[in-house]
Amino acid sequence: MQLACPSNCMECTVSATGAAECKSDKCDPKYGFKAADKTCLACPSNCMECTVSATGAAECKSDKCDPKYGFKAADKTCLACPSNCMECTVSATGAAECKSDKCDPKYGFKAADKTCLACPSNCKTCSDVDGKMTCDTCCPHYKVNSGQCASCPSNCLECSVDNGAMVCSKCDSQSVMMDNKTCGVFVNIMTYLSSLPGPLQQVFTVRWQYHV
């Protein structure tokens, strides 16, 4: 007669007294082996791997909390990281504190309380300047101007900031660089002529052909 293993146990043996006993390394994921009765005990919430203490308490391993959770040494549990934080630690007072380089993309680290704040609009990376998020790098077609990301001029692929003004350095393929560092749009003459009323279209077509 086969005997069922204890709950949440993948492999077990049967003792001389006929009791099913889990093998020490065969508990299901997120369960720890309880040596006292050779069973498996659920790990603390948001813990991937744990041990069971002599008093029978499940204790998470220090490096085995789920992503976005920090290990709380006081009771060996896992505490949720601050919002928009990928990796954190837990202070002696029990507060979850984000690591300085582990905020989510487009969020900056706030040193005062070790949390993550949203970067300004169109900003790729930002940093904390006196409690305010200031842009360091911008999304394509934007440049940092006074701590914010300002849009490049119309039809401009690349630009720079000159005395607070946005100056184009490269126009798109449908535009040409003008003397004032803006991008003028090419106009297809035939497309333009076809948009004119009939009489005007005929007059301008004749003049354009004569000019050419």
Task: Say what the pTM is.
Answer: 0.73
Residue 202 has which token pair? Answer: 């005929």
**Span 86-117, pLDDT tens digits:** 999 999 999 999 999 999 999 999 999 999 99
pLDDT given for residue 25 in this prediction? 95
Q: Is 46 left (phi over 0), alpha (psi -120 to 50) or beta?
A: left
pLDDT tens across 194-212, in order? 665 665 555 444 443 444 4
pLDDT of residue 210: 41
Instruction: Give CB contacts under 8 A, 24+ apart, made by 86-89.
Output: 88/114
Q: Which helix (H) or strand (E) holds 188?
A: none
Rounded to whole angstroms, the Cα distance separating 157 from 123 reads 17
Q: pLDDT under 70 in the chain at which residues?
A: 1, 186-212
Rounded CA Rg of the chain: 33
Domain spans in the chain, listed from the N-terminal domain onward: 1-64
